[in-house]
Structure 1
Amino acid sequence: MSILWAIIAGLVIGLLAKLVVPGRQPIPLWLTVVLGVIGGMIGNFLASAFGVADTRGIDWIRHFFQIGAAAVLIGLVTPLWSRRKA
């Protein structure tokens, strides 16, 4: 069940990250989900490193780290994906 939640969270994080990154990102949905999952894991690590992983209520700072990490990944991967041979 945790794998399903990771995929759902990756989808949400990835889609929000695509909204943050300027311009068009012509990457497929499956790559958006993968980058969202990886961004979520990096964001959780950063939130733990800064001591803000568990706060009262909604962990907004952790979510900002997750979306930010996914946005960076999308920004790095999109040009590589666009240049690949079909």
Structure 2
Amino acid sequence: MGILAWIVLGLIAGAIAKLILPGKQPGGIIVTIIIGIVGGLLGGWLGSLLFNEPVDGLNLGSILLAVGGAIIVLLVYGAITGRRGSRA
């Protein structure tokens, strides 16, 4: 999968993950893309490990795995940045 496809998949996965999770998440469009790309990598790794289903293109299975990974990444990112902001 090329870099442009990873960016598109990251944008889709990050945006869907932000829509699924309630509340206001930190970050703008760049953070959404990064979270989506990292989520795609995490989802692809978990998918290949658990379901033998890698993220290999812009298809429904890849998008679902990427969204699942992006939700995990978004929860971790929110927990880290939320704690940091409440100390100040």
Q: How would you bin the TM-score normalised by the shorter chain?
A: 0.7 to 0.9
Counterpart Cα distance in 1 of 2:54 and 2:8: 20
- Tell whether the 8 Å contact from 1:27 to 1:78 is kept in structure 2 after alignment: no
* Equivalent pairs, count: 80
2:78 is aligned to 78
Query: Aligned letter for 2:2?
Result: S
Of all paired residues, the percent bearing the same amino acid is: 30
Unaligned runs of 5+ in 2: none
- 1:4 is displaced (CA, Å) by 1.3
Query: Is the 1:10–1:37 contact (alpha carbons within 8 Å) kept by the matching residues of 2?
Result: yes
Residue pair 1:53, 1:59 contacting (<8 A) in 2 also: no
**Distance of aligned partners of 1:81 and 1:28 in 2 relative to their CA distance in 1, 3 Å threshold:** farther
Compute the TM-score of the two structures, normalised by the length of structure 1.
Answer: 0.74
TM-score, normalising length from structure 2?
A: 0.73
The list of structure 1 runs, each at least 4 consecutive aligned residues, that deviate by more than 3 angstroms after superposition, is: 79-82
> How large is the Cα RMSD of the aligned pairs?
2.4
Long gaps (5+) in structure 1? none
1:42 maps to amino acid: L
Displacement of 1:78: 2.6
Is residue 2:44 matched to residue 1:51? no
